[in-house]
Structure 1
């Protein structure tokens, strides 16, 4: 347990976990780490026993101070986490069940956003605060045992696991049909002046992109795609896209991704949009899962699985409340004929 705490502290120190600079709702490692840390603290808290806080008299005038036991230390750490707060964020996102339940209790006890806690005061005031905090911790412990919470937890976990499973099966099906795939990762967003583009407009732009792809030569050799809708305070609504092209017919992934990005900005959004070409910087990734990938290349296939997981891992800790689907993929490819030499089995 101590080793986990040290690793978590090192991670927080390394990435500087503050709300400032966090692209809320985007696939941002800092934000995901905050959610993971807070969720981990809640899970530790519910396993504790005994009072979270106690009081200690400090002088002969009846003054006392609040002292924390092990559960109290965890609660104080949770209150210090820079969990995003605000009506717009909370209306757009729902936290994973452990964190959502804990935040609800903290709000109920007027502890979120965290207020300044008494350092030294009269014994009666400190005792009142102690009882208040201990009751909050006990309610969090009891809530996770309820049937309603367990049902919510099971549903949430099934949904997150299902998304990743469906997408990896889809990618495997594309490789069963094609000997090699040219994989593009492009973020499609809007300019700062258009960051308040509505979810409905973003959906309309996405639908137009894929409808136009049917008759646009730029997409002639596209065999599949994956999209994920996200939201950030600076970008507003935006998409994380993966495009799959038949690697036997096209090459030059950086150029192709650039052309698709320009098509988004110039044609689909008529100048309102922006794009980011991930393929242009793919060599900087520790585990590259984009570019040209052969069916038998286990290393790049594994990197591609990580890239797919990256698209879904925000949902492990919080989910965007979308009107309709927040993630989608293309149609499964038709099965390949039995003729030809069978491929080697690749385990990723």
Structure 2
């Protein structure tokens, strides 16, 4: 939620959540999430302000310093009278959810949209004044570099192998009552737990390399810190598709190997392949000539390399939150017969799209990427 608002409000040129001139936008799916996130923040801040609760006590502020600027900015905008929006609009917006917004009449929605657009511009100026734009943009540049690196690794993999089995695995702690996964006693506590997760990640990679050796075509991992799930790890793995074809049991075997020794915190590995219907699965053996090759790879690469402000602001010095296979030095000539089909052309920027968009275009139901 707060990550979406931070990223979009800091964009240059500024991007409004509601484009009042045209109906279609380039980033229509991301914009919808942006709209939902800004309404959720307005509701949360309104709730706290209405009950005189200190905003700085929220968990987001403990994890991400830029969040305080954002939350204080929304509070100031909600409570200041001198603004472009009419008083009745501000009264209506107070503690309004996105579902309540959707039930309003068209003319009322139009006024609310203008007010919310004004809020995002106000937040943009507040964040820039707090000198947060430089560090946020550096995170975004690093994210793009990681994305390009992973896509080049994928391109090299499909050049060397006719098919690759794509696997997604997640590792993290289970839900408990009370849920303390995202609660940190101090910065030192956060760093200690981050280092523990990083150590687990190193052991997982060693096991992976030992299991598949040369059949491990590529891998990518990402340590994230979510406001509810806490610290967890995302994995994207590519195996030689000529030797490994079972999209369910191969990742299940990896997960079982990683979870052989039970942990005190109960953390375990989730196999994301089992969440996809067989006829709609994209976590499968993908041939080099598959027309959806780069849409699928681009979607997962974008997911793994997106900016995680909660982690980046508090990660211990020089410790990484992302890593992937390095590009190999290989000869131009490929062993074996000449390929009969062409590999789809890779346009990195064009395929850097959410997988939900691909799901909607294909008409898939109950699809979970």
TM-score (norm 1): 0.60
- 1:283 matches 2:248: no
Change in Cα spacing, 1:337 to 1:210, as seen in structure 2 (3 Å) is same
Distance 1:285 1:152 in 2: 43
The 5 Å alignment of 1:333-344 reads: 333-336=328-331, 338-339=333-334, 340-341=337-338, 344=342
Match of residue 185 from structure 2: none
Equivalence for 2:292: 299
Whole-angstrom CA distance in 2 between matches of 1:234 and 1:151: 28
Runs (5+) with no aligned partner, structure 1: 1-29, 46-75, 121-135
Q: Which of 151, 157, 173 is matched with 1:190 structurally?
A: 173
Q: Give the deviation of 1:137 after TM superposition.
A: 9.9
Does 2:218 align with 1:224? yes
The 2-side partners of 1:247 and 1:178 are apart by 8
Deviation at 1:142, TM superposition (A): 5.5
1:67-110 per-position Cα deviation (integer Å, ceiling 9, x unaligned): xxxxxxxxx96962547975543333365xxx77544645xxx6
CA deviations on 1:92-131 (whole Å, 9 max, x unpaired) are 3365xxx77544645xxx639x6698x89xxxxxxxxxxx
Alignment of 1:30-109 (within 5 A): 43-44=15-16, 80-82=42-44, 86-93=57-64, 102-103=70-71, 105=73
What CA distance in whole angstroms lies between the structure 2 residues aligned with 1:332 and 1:270? 37
C-alpha separation in 2, matches of 1:39 and 1:231: 21
Following superposition, the deviation at residue 223 of structure 1 comes to 2.0
The number of residue pairs the alignment matches comes to 265
Q: Flag the structure with larger Rg.
A: 1
1:111 aligns with 2:79: no
Q: Which residue of 2 aligns with 1:10?
A: none
In the alignment, structure 2 segments of 5+ residues that lack a partner are 18-37, 46-54, 82-86, 89-118, 183-191, 347-369
Match of 2:195 among 186, 200, 220: 200
Partner of 1:328: 323
Distance in 2 between the 1:35 and 1:285 partners?
Answer: 37
* Residue number in structure 2 paired with 1:245: 239
